[in-house]
Amino acid sequence: MDKLIITAAICGAEVLKEHNPAVPYTVEECVREAKSAYDAGASIIHLHVRYDDGTPTQDKARFKMVMDAIYKVCPDVIIQPSTGGAVGMTNDERLQPTELSPEMATLDCGTLNFGGDDVFMNTENTIKYFGTKMIERGIKPELEVFDKSMIDMALRLQKKGFIKSPMHFDFVMGVNGGISGELRDFIFLRGSIPADATYTAAGVGRFEFPLAAAAIIDGGHVRVGFEDNVFISKGVVAKSNGELVAKVVRMAKEFGREIATPAEARQILGLKPKA
């Protein structure tokens, strides 16, 4: 069984300081939260960026500023920018951080109802376009799937050459409009990916730690962080992303699973060694 790769989704695009005062907006706050997660055992920082007032943005210059600042204190960490953007953004707006040649970036594999009138649009042509750009730029996509049909889409487009193998999936579970975070549904998704694929489980809200446990036992990988959940336990707000990562590390030790360093995570995911 591979060592456990822990991803920290430190801020997201929706969660606010009103939900948890430690949610980072500024460059300095993002560095603080990334460092706390890295020090606790995270190998990957899943990154959204915001302006100082908390407004989410896909601006390439803002991403570069935050990424450069994180690399200064965590030089070997894997930074995985989000290409999700915000409802209404064009494909090229969303793809801006991939122009910075990150090792990984997210690729959302389907359209999702986010609640109310908000629809997160990812047409088949959008997914093909994103996949093609990531191949051209030498970026490994983390295939974000919110439902079983999105796995099927990824597998179909892989056969057509828009996504390379071996694939790496992120099961985002418990989102409004997507698949639930129940163990039954985790098993369903887990059984639907190729044998040579890797995966990360990202449980939203109360599903975060139960799904982390399932992934640890199964040999998969885990994502935690303020993007998905701001509580360390029921009703208790987490002090930092690092506190959430540290809880996963303790869980992994209980199950006898070692934690991957960034170098080991690169090897597991088929990324090039850090220069």
Alpha carbon distance 231, 236 (integer Å): 5
pLDDT higher than threshold 90 for residue 239: yes
pLDDT higher than threshold 80 for residue 34: yes
89, 48 contact by CB (below 8 A): no
241, 37 contact by CB (below 8 A): yes
Q: Give the fold, CATH level 3, of 6-269.
A: TIM Barrel (3.20.20)
pTM, two decimals, is: 0.97
How many angstroms separate the first and last alpha carbons of the chain? 27
What is the reported pLDDT for 251?
A: 98
Model confidence over 65-95: pLDDT tens digits?
999 999 999 999 999 999 998 878 899 999 9
What is the reported pLDDT for 177?
A: 93
Residue 12 tokens read as 């997201």
Of all residues in the chain, what percent are helix, strand and coil, respectively (each to 5)? 40, 20, 40
What is the reported pLDDT for 115?
A: 81
3-class secondary-structure state, position 5: coil
What is the reported pLDDT for 85?
A: 86
Alpha carbon distance 149, 129 (integer Å): 19
Model confidence over 44-66: pLDDT tens digits?
999 999 999 999 999 999 999 99
